[in-house]
Amino acid sequence: MPIITGRMFQHLDGHKDLTNHTDVLTIKDPDVLYIPLMNGNAPCNPLVKVGDEVKVGTKIAERNDHFYLPLFSPVSGTVTGIEKRMTTAMKMADHLRIENDHKNTEEQAFEPLDYESASNEELLNFVKNAGMLGLGGAGFPTYVKFLKPENVDLFIVNGVECEPYLTADYKNMLANMDLLKVGSLALLKLSQAKKGCISVKEDKKDLIAELQKTFAGTAIEVRPVPDIYPAGWERTLVYLLTKKRYDRLPIEAGCILNNASTAIALGNALVNGKPITRKYVTVSGDGVANPQNVIVPIGMPAHDVVTACGGYLSDECVICAGGPMMGTAVPNDTFVIGPANNGLTIFVKKDEESVKCLRCGKCTESCPSGLQPVRINAAEKTKNIEALKNLDVASCIECGLCTYVCPSKLDVTEGIRRAKRYMALMAKKK
């Protein structure tokens, strides 16, 4: 109901031209890799010891709490230690240090599978044991979504990539149409939905044409969405496609979503028996010499990636792990590319002059969660718990849109985070 609530999204200048038309670069693998032994906030246990030889595809660690997720080595070489390093979330975590012998000796991580003849159970186990996870940023093990697929009307492959600057999914899709098709159809089968669709932004005409060719005659339809942010966020995408809102999980609206790169990774696993060991990463922004997409092994330090792209353009830069909207700005570049990283956005530092809030309401009109950021910030300042409760602070997804639109250049999103922390603290106290 945009007339009375605002549109709850915004068109952003994506600056995708910086990297859309340049070739994808495969850069030389680093001499040393650091594989993060983390999945989300859960630790993963190493399966190798210091001194062990590993090959490309060796299973090196696994998450084994209520979820299962194996990790595989992207290179061949020697395990030389377990180090604490800072992650993109700015926490310290264990990383497995692997010295690369640059020989790329391979080992078959698992057998390929013909998804068409496999039973659903076989397929689900395959997805689980192949270590498939959400590559769009969440890093959530993929099989979990398909454990109980009940009443799924629509299976959605999310290729929207709504973060500005990022083009990694776009490049990945164009380069790997066949794998995308296999992976998407396999996931559609697992979802037991009657229909599937693949969504990309409507301005990507070349990609849409390719997709239409690839998916012609399948149960997956190409459904372009408008060039808005955050069209790639699950709730917004489900709303755009079905006009339905849901409370907790997309399955309530009869939908299951998967990222397009995840589908490609699954295609690669099914066809070639290869796990996720490399990523398409967009390196872009006005602070890097050669903005482009690169294919890098998981565990490569950001510093090495930036150097391979010509280095920084200024002595004072901001580097975001991911796109500029949701990617955290990290105060050093020692963090490594993890499975869920799809970009590094680098800007020359510039100072914004902020003025007072003019109560323009642009934040309340844009918030994809339907919140009222300006009022949340005001309530946070006076620690008005009652108001904060009414204002549903917990539904904020930190998409960053409220800061983006604010004409007074205030750090609105940061205020919401403060309010969230404050509410969490209060809840604990009780």
Partner 1 sequence: MKLIYKPSPNYRSPQSTSGIMKDLTYCLIAVTIFSSLYYTMAFGSNLGLRVVLMMITSVASALATEAIWCKVTKQEVIKGVLTSYGWVTAMILTLMSSIKVSYYALAVSTVIALVFGKLVFGGFGQNIFNPAAFGEAILMNTFAGSNRTDILTSATPAAAMKSYGWMTTGDTFSTMMTSKGFGSLGQMFVGWYPSAIGSTSALLILLCLAYLVYRKDIDWQASVFYIGTVFVLSLVIGLLHGQGIWYPIFQVLAGGVLFGGVFMLTDPVTSPVTILGRIVFAVGAACFTLIFRLRSNMPDGVLYSILLMNMLTPAIDKMLEGSQIKDIAKLKKRAIIAIACMALVTIGVGAIAKTQSAASTGNPASVNEFAAAIPESTISWEGTDYE
Q: Whole-number minimum distance, CB 238 to partner 1, in Å?
A: 12
Cβ atoms of residues 29 and 388 within 8 Å: no
Return the exposure string of 262-282: e unless at least 16 CB atoms fall within 10 Å of the residue's CB, then b: bbbbbbbbbbeebbbbbbbbb
Report the amino acid identity of residue 129: N
Residue type, 31: D
Instruction: Indicate the residue type of 4.
Output: I
Q: 6-45: which residues touch partner 1 (CB under 8 A)?
A: 6, 8, 10, 12
Instruction: Give whichever of 14 and 134 is closer to partner 1, judged by the CB atom.
Output: 14
Q: Please, which residues bridge with residue 348 across strands?
A: 317
For residue 104, give both structure tokens: 């790329």
Question: Per-residue string for binding with ligand SF4, 372-411, x by CB under 6 A?
Answer: -xx---------------------xxxxxxx--xxxx-x-
Is residue 407 at the binding interface for partner 1, with CB under 8 A as the rule? yes
Secondary structure letter of residue 55 according to DSSP: -
The stretch among 125-133, 180-188, 190-198, 360-368 that binds partner 1 (CB under 8 A) is 360-368
C-alpha 144: how far from chain center: 17
CA distances from 34 to 30, 94, 97, 337, 341 (A): 10, 9, 5, 9, 14
Distance from C-alpha of 119 to C-alpha of 51, rounded to nearest angstrom: 40
What is the Cα–Cα distance from 268 to 251, expressed in whole angstroms? 26
Least gap, CB of 239 to ligand SF4 (angstroms): 14
383 binds partner 1 (CB under 8 A): no
Q: How many residues bind partner 1 (CB under 8 A)?
A: 68
Instruction: Indicate the residue among 72 and 233 with the shorter CB distance to partner 1.
Output: 233
The three-class DSSP label of residue 237 is: helix
Q: Residue 94 touches which of ligand SF4, partner 1, none (CB < 5 to 8 A by kind)?
A: none
Subset of residues 336 to 375 that bind ligand SF4, contact rule: CB under 6 A: 357-363, 366-369, 371, 373-374
Query: How far, in Å, CA of 78 to CA of 58, rounded?
Result: 12
- The answer to whether 341 contacts partner 1 (rule: CB under 8 A) is no
Binding site for partner 1 (CB under 8 A): 1, 3-6, 8, 10, 12, 164, 245, 247, 312, 315-320, 323-333, 345, 347, 349, 352, 355-361, 364-365, 367, 369-372, 374-375, 387, 390-392, 395, 398, 400-401, 403-409, 411, 413-414, 417
Binding site for ligand SF4 (CB under 6 A): 357-363, 366-369, 371, 373-374, 396-402, 405-408, 410, 412-413, 416
